[in-house]
Amino acid sequence: MNCHKFRSSTITKSLLLNCHKFRGSTITKSLLLNCHKFRSSTITKSLLLNCHKFRSSTITKSLLLNYTMSDLFCTIDTNRKKALLFNVPPVRYTPINPYETNPSLTQYQLDMRRKVEILQYNKNTVGSMTKRQTFTQAIKGATQRRNYSKSQIANFQSGNNEVTSCPPTISTAAGVPGPAFYLSLDTSVPLYNYNVTYTYATENKQDTVTKWLYSTTTDIYSNSPSIFTLNIKPPIDQSLYFYTFTTSVGMQVEGSIASTRSQIGTFSTQLAANNVHVIAYYGGSPITFLSQPVVTFDSQFLTEVSGNLVSKNPNSFVGNIFLGNMTISNLVLPTSPGYTYDICINYIPSNTYDFIDNYSSRFITNVNTSFTNTDKKQESGLNFFTPVPSSSVTPFSLSGQ
């Protein structure tokens, strides 16, 4: 990775790829870029983050180079694979079946419609008249002559002067081989099975409008859910975008009591906005935000949910309750075409409970079917003290500027 060949295997500051200038050449933990803080300043293989297991603990330039290059390539490859999921295939050409729109049509009618349409155009210029011959025909008035049938003349005399653009013509007069039959144009019959110009995947016009695409999943039961995946497209017009997204959040509590209790079990779970952390992954690796995203709850969001069990006897319990809507703003992301991000949230709830042996809580993000505006809680073996909010369940939305 842009590395030069080194003459010696001794590790110095010059062996650290793309590193900053250090005042000393002694290798310490401070020379490893983007590394965590270590309790010891001694450099061993354990100090290399996410590196493979080495047979020896001696650090050489080859161990450092292999770690740096493999980590970079894995990140790029992971990003590429995620970006491929957003490829939009071209629209498949699917002609309309004329028999579905008009079951009374016959193949003969469709063939006749196509044949007459073709005979109206003369693409073959071989044998056509010259300019001199055309002028001679016009002088003689040949172009003004037209033969009408008796029925057409009768229509003219009666005032019904509608004339088809292509009156019935014998096929032999049109140069059509085979047994003679009449050619007639019926515009009520659809033109079908004619030559069209197909557009293939390699000929697609580039999208010049869509700046990004995203995909989401709904009703995610997890305290560390992946909310959505964002893919930056070529029409993007800024190097940085400030994104804002809104999602509906619920909570599930569950647990059990193993033996008969003298009192009814109670529980409480709290969630503060500062205990909701946003994480963005690029190529499977977390990125460092230029500024921290801002988490905002709506005015009726439930930051605390409490309740009790309905029995003192050994049993299990579970309950779901809608909390409200949450908005994440100031999500600043570099937006080069092809970049793909996984946006995740880490909830850190605070649980307290009495006379309960096992208790846990987890959140439901991107609520879709778990709750409705008329059904915002489900209780089994427990009762929620906290009333549900009156705010509506809001579908996921994303905007950027």
pLDDT digits (tens, 9 = 90+) for 286-323: 999 999 999 999 999 999 999 999 988 888 999 999 99
H helices then E strands: how many in the chain? 5, 18
Rounded CA separation 376/364 (Å): 12
Spatial separation of the C-alpha atoms in residues 378 and 252, rounded to whole Å: 9
What pLDDT does 14 receive? 40
- Res 38: pLDDT: 36
What are 317's two structure tokens? 């319990």
Give residue 21's pLDDT: 39
Which segments in the chain show pLDDT lower than 70? Answer: 1-70, 90-91, 93, 121-128, 137, 140-167, 194-205
Cα–Cα distance measured from residue 282 to residue 284, given in angstroms and rounded to the nearest whole number: 5
pLDDT in tens, 37-61: 333 333 344 444 433 333 334 445 5
The pTM (predicted TM-score) of the whole model is: 0.61
The pLDDT, as a whole number, for residue 52 is 38
**pLDDT value of residue 10:** 36
pLDDT at 13: 38
- Strand 315-334 relative to strand 294-297: parallel, antiparallel, unpaired? antiparallel
What angle (nearest 5°) sits at the alpha carbon of residue 168, between those of residues 167 and 172? 125
Give the per-residue pLDDT at 70: 65
Closest to 344 (Cα-Cα) out of 169, 216, 240: 216
Q: 263 near 355, Cβ under 8 Å?
A: yes
Give the per-residue pLDDT at 325.
97
Give per-residue pLDDT as tens, 220-253: 999 999 999 999 999 999 999 999 999 999 999 9
pLDDT for 150? 61
- Write down the pLDDT at residue 154: 66
